[in-house]
Protein backbone atom coordinates (compact mmCIF):
# COMPACT_ATOMS: atom_id res chain seq x y z
CA UNK A 1 0.00 0.00 0.00
CA UNK A 2 1.55 3.32 -1.07
CA UNK A 3 0.71 6.92 -1.79
CA UNK A 4 2.65 10.14 -2.20
CA UNK A 5 3.34 13.41 -0.42
CA UNK A 6 1.44 16.26 -2.06
CA UNK A 7 2.18 18.94 0.53
CA UNK A 8 4.57 19.50 3.46
CA UNK A 9 3.36 22.13 5.93
CA UNK A 10 4.87 23.88 8.94
CA UNK A 11 3.97 26.67 11.35
CA UNK A 12 5.81 28.47 14.13
CA UNK A 13 2.75 28.35 16.44
CA UNK A 14 0.32 25.58 17.34
CA UNK A 15 -3.34 25.71 16.29
CA UNK A 16 -2.74 27.73 13.14
CA UNK A 17 -2.94 26.99 9.45
CA UNK A 18 0.43 25.78 8.25
CA UNK A 19 2.46 27.16 5.37
CA UNK A 20 3.60 24.84 2.58
CA UNK A 21 7.29 24.16 1.98
CA UNK A 22 8.88 22.18 -0.86
CA UNK A 23 10.97 19.95 1.40
CA UNK A 24 11.67 19.40 5.06
CA UNK A 25 14.04 17.69 7.46
CA UNK A 26 12.37 15.33 9.90
CA UNK A 27 14.35 14.61 13.04
CA UNK A 28 14.25 11.28 14.83
CA UNK A 29 12.03 11.31 17.92
CA UNK A 30 11.13 14.95 17.33
CA UNK A 31 9.38 15.92 14.10
CA UNK A 32 9.74 18.46 11.31
CA UNK A 33 12.41 21.12 11.80
CA UNK A 34 10.79 24.55 12.18
CA UNK A 35 7.36 23.24 13.15
CA UNK A 36 5.74 24.13 16.48
CA UNK A 37 4.63 20.53 17.07
CA UNK A 38 8.13 19.04 16.86
CA UNK A 39 8.99 17.63 20.28
CA UNK A 40 10.40 14.49 21.83
CA UNK A 41 8.01 15.02 24.74
CA UNK A 42 5.00 13.44 23.06
CA UNK A 43 3.81 10.86 20.58
CA UNK A 44 2.19 13.25 18.07
CA UNK A 45 5.41 14.40 16.41
CA UNK A 46 4.14 14.59 12.81
CA UNK A 47 0.53 14.80 11.61
CA UNK A 48 -0.80 13.45 8.33
CA UNK A 49 -4.06 14.10 6.53
CA UNK A 50 -5.19 12.70 3.18
CA UNK A 51 -5.91 15.03 0.28
CA UNK A 52 -9.05 12.95 -0.15
CA UNK A 53 -10.27 14.26 3.24
CA UNK A 54 -9.59 17.85 2.19
CA UNK A 55 -11.47 17.28 -1.06
CA UNK A 56 -14.52 16.18 0.99
CA UNK A 57 -14.45 19.57 2.72
CA UNK A 58 -14.05 21.35 -0.62
CA UNK A 59 -17.09 19.44 -1.94
CA UNK A 60 -19.05 20.92 0.99
CA UNK A 61 -18.20 24.37 -0.37
CA UNK A 62 -15.32 25.25 1.94
CA UNK A 63 -12.38 27.17 0.51
CA UNK A 64 -9.63 25.03 2.04
CA UNK A 65 -6.36 23.53 0.86
CA UNK A 66 -3.46 21.44 2.13
CA UNK A 67 -2.09 22.82 5.40
CA UNK A 68 -5.32 24.56 6.41
CA UNK A 69 -6.10 21.79 8.90
CA UNK A 70 -2.65 22.13 10.52
CA UNK A 71 -1.43 18.82 9.12
CA UNK A 72 2.30 18.51 8.56
CA UNK A 73 2.06 16.13 5.63
CA UNK A 74 -0.76 15.89 3.12
CA UNK A 75 -0.84 12.54 1.31
CA UNK A 76 -2.68 11.24 -1.71
CA UNK A 77 -3.55 7.67 -2.64
CA UNK A 78 -3.04 6.10 0.79
CA UNK A 79 -5.98 5.20 3.06
CA UNK A 80 -4.56 6.67 6.27
CA UNK A 81 -7.60 5.72 8.36
CA UNK A 82 -7.08 2.04 7.59
CA UNK A 83 -3.66 2.05 9.27
CA UNK A 84 -3.84 0.76 12.85
CA UNK A 85 -1.73 2.17 15.66
CA UNK A 86 1.74 0.65 15.44
CA UNK A 87 1.80 0.61 11.63
CA UNK A 88 5.17 1.71 10.29
CA UNK A 89 5.47 3.83 7.20
CA UNK A 90 8.36 5.04 5.11
CA UNK A 91 8.42 8.52 3.59
CA UNK A 92 10.95 9.39 0.94
CA UNK A 93 14.26 7.53 1.06
CA UNK A 94 14.93 7.55 4.80
CA UNK A 95 12.13 8.66 7.10
CA UNK A 96 10.37 5.96 9.11
CA UNK A 97 7.39 6.75 11.32
CA UNK A 98 5.04 4.69 13.42
CA UNK A 99 1.33 5.49 13.69
CA UNK A 100 0.83 6.62 17.30
CA UNK A 101 -2.69 8.08 17.21
CA UNK A 102 -5.69 8.14 14.91
CA UNK A 103 -7.74 11.30 15.09
CA UNK A 104 -7.72 13.57 18.11
CA UNK A 105 -10.15 15.06 20.54
CA UNK A 106 -10.79 18.75 20.14
CA UNK A 107 -11.83 20.18 23.48
CA UNK A 108 -12.53 23.61 22.03
CA UNK A 109 -13.00 24.95 18.56
CA UNK A 110 -9.56 26.09 17.52
CA UNK A 111 -8.50 28.78 15.07
CA UNK A 112 -8.60 26.22 12.27
CA UNK A 113 -12.29 25.53 12.89
CA UNK A 114 -13.12 29.22 12.77
CA UNK A 115 -10.95 29.86 9.72
CA UNK A 116 -12.11 26.82 7.73
CA UNK A 117 -15.66 26.45 9.07
CA UNK A 118 -15.11 22.82 10.06
CA UNK A 119 -12.21 20.50 10.73
CA UNK A 120 -11.53 17.00 9.41
CA UNK A 121 -8.27 16.64 11.31
CA UNK A 122 -9.90 15.39 14.56
CA UNK A 123 -11.73 12.65 12.67
CA UNK A 124 -9.46 11.76 9.78
CA UNK A 125 -5.94 12.86 10.64
CA UNK A 126 -3.30 10.49 11.96
CA UNK A 127 -0.15 11.09 13.97
CA UNK A 128 3.22 9.39 13.90
CA UNK A 129 6.24 9.14 16.13
CA UNK A 130 9.48 9.50 14.14
CA UNK A 131 11.64 6.37 14.42
CA UNK A 132 14.22 7.39 11.80
CA UNK A 133 14.80 10.89 10.49
CA UNK A 134 15.77 12.24 7.09
CA UNK A 135 14.65 14.59 4.36
CA UNK A 136 11.33 14.54 2.50
CA UNK A 137 10.06 16.49 -0.48
CA UNK A 138 6.81 16.91 -2.37
CA UNK A 139 6.23 13.91 -4.64
CA UNK A 140 8.04 11.43 -2.37
CA UNK A 141 6.39 8.06 -1.89
CA UNK A 142 4.72 7.14 1.40
CA UNK A 143 4.49 3.38 1.89
CA UNK A 144 3.32 0.99 4.57
CA UNK A 145 6.17 -1.20 5.81
CA UNK A 146 6.44 -4.73 7.07
CA UNK A 147 7.15 -4.75 10.77
CA UNK A 148 10.83 -5.50 11.48
CA UNK A 149 13.66 -3.90 13.46
CA UNK A 150 14.60 -0.38 12.34
CA UNK A 151 18.22 -1.39 11.67
CA UNK A 152 17.06 -3.73 8.91
CA UNK A 153 15.69 -0.83 6.86
CA UNK A 154 19.03 0.92 6.37
Per-residue pLDDT band for 40 (boundaries 50, 70, 90) equals confident
Q: For residue 77, with 0-12 CB atoms within 10 Å meaning exposed, 13-18 middle and 19 or more buried, which class applies?
A: middle
Domain count, the chain: 1
**88-92, 115-119, 146-150 — which one is most confidently predicted on average?**
88-92
Q: Per residue in 86-104, pLDDT tens?
A: 999 999 999 999 999 987 6
Residue 52, domain CATH: 2.40.33.20
What average pLDDT does this structure show over 35-42? 81
Q: Per residue in 7-17, pLDDT tens?
A: 999 998 876 77
Q: Please give the Cα distance from 136 to 5 (Å, whole number).
A: 9
pTM summary value: 0.86
User: Whole-number mean pLDDT of the chain?
Assistant: 85
Q: Per residue in 72-84, pLDDT tens?
A: 999 999 999 899 9
Q: For residue 148, with 0-12 CB atoms within 10 Å meaning exposed, 13-18 middle and 19 or more buried, which class applies?
A: exposed
Domain that holds residue 73: 2-153
Amino acid sequence: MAGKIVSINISEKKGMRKKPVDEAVINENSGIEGDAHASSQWHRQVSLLALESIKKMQAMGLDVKAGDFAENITTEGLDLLSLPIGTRMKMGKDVIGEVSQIGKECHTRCAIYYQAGDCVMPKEGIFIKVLKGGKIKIGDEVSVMLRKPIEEYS
